[in-house]
Amino acid sequence: MSAAEWRAGLSLAAIFGLRMLGLFCILPVFAVHAAQLRGGGDLTLVGVALGAYGLSQGILQIPFGASSDRWGRKPALYVGLAVFAAGSFLGMAADDIWTAIAARALQGAGAVNSVAMALAADLTREQHRTKIMALIGSTIGVTFAVSLIGAPLLYHAIGMDGLFGLTGILALCAMAIVGTQVPQPPAAAPRHDDAATARAALLNPELLRLNVGIFVLHVILYAMFVVVPPLLVAGGLELSRHWLLYLPVVLLSFLLMLPPILYADRRNRPKPVLLGAVLLLLITEALLSAFHDGVPALAALMLAYFLAFNILEALLPSLVSRLAPARGRGLAIGVYNTTQTLGVFCGGLLGGWMARHHGASAVFLACSALVAVWLAVAAGMGPLPRYGQPGPQSGVVG
């Protein structure tokens, strides 16, 4: 990759990392903290609070992506990060579950994921886009790992209001990176036949398969984290020591993900890697539904889960950027991110409702059923074009 591509990838990965660190820091501790909030004893509302940002983000991803196609990537990034910071500062004042839900929803209204991913695609050549998306995906994964390890310690030191405040400060730092480090994107392609571009972005069957996949992946993530932290506490691992499980599990999963990701990129064979990761996810969720008692069993199964998750989190956005039409990339990625964040909301809601009425095993069993559907959908994926060739039914791929 060129120096400019490295600069683009690293700066955008930093923006993703700073933003996602704030979101993820809430995830490992909120289900335990919620008992201290008025109304926080209702697990369904706890799940809604965890996933609320996904609903507002899901509604606004497409408008943000489409507006960035028309008015520019950087202005859209500034607006979205400012809204996200406002939601974070609102969270500092939350002493009841409904204020926490409102704060998370306002955080989600800063829906810049599609804009940042479209900008990453704008600033890199297609043959290097998997590397850039893997870099961003790995940064999100590292951020997730850091939050799993650090959030319990930070929560003990500064409380939930401090975590929300830190999230707002990190969003302001991300705005500074946009202004000082992110390269200026190239001029937008000439606009013509917007209806055809929209059809290519919305109706490409291969893009639809990827949208199903990212939806299921994030339903599972947020449903699981309604029940996994309490299960670890029940197994004798207090919240401040959860990092002892997460640190080795996540670090090892990163090492194990590298060979399949490099194989998919260098051989241009993402389908077998994608199907293998989805199958691993299915097996893991099925085993969790039967054998989630005890910290050692959870640690082994969480390793398999994070390996599959990290592979898919890096692979899926790369495939979307390859198949999306160049003039409608922001729109296509906006649709992709909408399905992702709606998965966040649905996962929190599903996990909270299932855990309240049927217990943790039912949560994992429901996740298994969703992954089985995804595997059937993904199995029909067609061959990808060679780098630099038009994508199927998508117009010219940039």
* Residue for token pair 């609070």: 49
Q: Which domain holds residue 119?
A: 3-182+193-378
- Alpha-helical regions (H) of 34-128: 43-71, 73-91, 97-109, 113-122
d(CA 49, CA 30): 9
Our count of domains for the chain comes to 1
Residue 281 is assigned to a structural domain of this protein: yes
Residue 122 is assigned to a structural domain of this protein: yes
The one-character DSSP state at 34 is: G
pLDDT the model gives residue 86? 92
At residue 375, what are phi and psi to the nearest 5 degrees? -60, -40
Around Cβ 259, how many Cβ atoms within 10 Å? 11
HSE (CB half, 13 Å, CA atoms) of 75?
A: 7
d(CA 132, CA 127): 10
- Which CATH number is 18's domain given? 1.20.1250.20
Q: Report the SS3 class of residue 126.
A: helix
Residue 82 contacts residue 173 (beta carbons within 8 Å): no
Residue 276 is assigned to a structural domain of this protein: yes
Residue 309 contacts residue 22 (beta carbons within 8 Å): no
Has residue 111 got a pLDDT over 90?
no
Residue 394 is assigned to a structural domain of this protein: no
Name the β-bridge partners of 292.
Answer: none
Lowest mean pLDDT among 166-175, 256-265, 382-391: 382-391
The one-character DSSP state at 240 is: G
Has residue 375 got a pLDDT over 90?
yes
Has residue 359 got a pLDDT over 90?
no
pLDDT the model gives residue 397? 30
Structure tokens at 348: 């929190």
First to last CA, the chain: 16
Structure tokens at 71: 């008015």
pLDDT in tens, 148-181: 778 888 888 888 888 889 889 988 988 998 888 8
Residue 341 is assigned to a structural domain of this protein: yes
Residue 239 is assigned to a structural domain of this protein: yes
Residue 391 is assigned to a structural domain of this protein: no
193: left (phi over 0), alpha (psi -120 to 50) or beta: left
Has residue 391 got a pLDDT over 50?
no
pLDDT the model gives residue 198? 65
* Residue for token pair 């009841």: 96
Q: CB burial class (10 A; 0-12, 13-18, 19+) of residue 62? A: buried
pLDDT in tens, 273-304: 999 999 999 999 999 988 777 888 888 999 99
Structure tokens at 118: 């479209």
Residue 14 is assigned to a structural domain of this protein: yes
